Amino acid sequence: MEDNINIFESLLESAVDYSKTGYELAKLKTLDKTSDVLSSLMAHYLVLILIASFILFITLGMAYWIGEILGKIYFGFFAVAVFYAISGIIVNFLLHKTIKRRIADYLIKKVLK
């Protein structure tokens, strides 16, 4: 009878150790995936910020240049604003689903990697 109790206690300890190890492994896998996705997103955001800054300064320069050509500086800003409005409408109606699908696919690929 004593052997059965010792075997049961040993089996119970092994099961507890196994479950703790499984839990730790799940935590580490989650941490790995999270850090991979976040580091990749941060790199993309940095590039996006740099590109947005570049576009901002190019846009300001174009607005001043067009404004000088048209005779009033604010006409240049209106022209650039109209360009961005038309571009935004085109992107929203024609490319919205494609952009959304590509971003979702990228995130899913990163998580399931």
Q: What is the mean pLDDT of residues 25-49?
A: 87
Contact (Cβ atoms closer than 8 angstroms) between residue 80 and residue 62: yes
Q: Which residues contact 56 (CB under 8 A, 6 or more apart)?
A: none
pLDDT band at 13 (very low <50, low <70, confident <90, very high): confident
Q: Which residue has the higher pLDDT, 78 or 105?
A: 78
Residue 15's pLDDT is what?
83
Q: Is the pLDDT of residue 5 over 80?
A: no
Q: Is the dihedral of CA 46, 47, 49, 50 positive or negative?
A: positive
pLDDT at 1 over 70: no
In sequence order, the 6+-apart residues with CB closer than 8 A to the CB of 99 are 91
- What is the rounded average pLDDT for all residues in the chain? 88
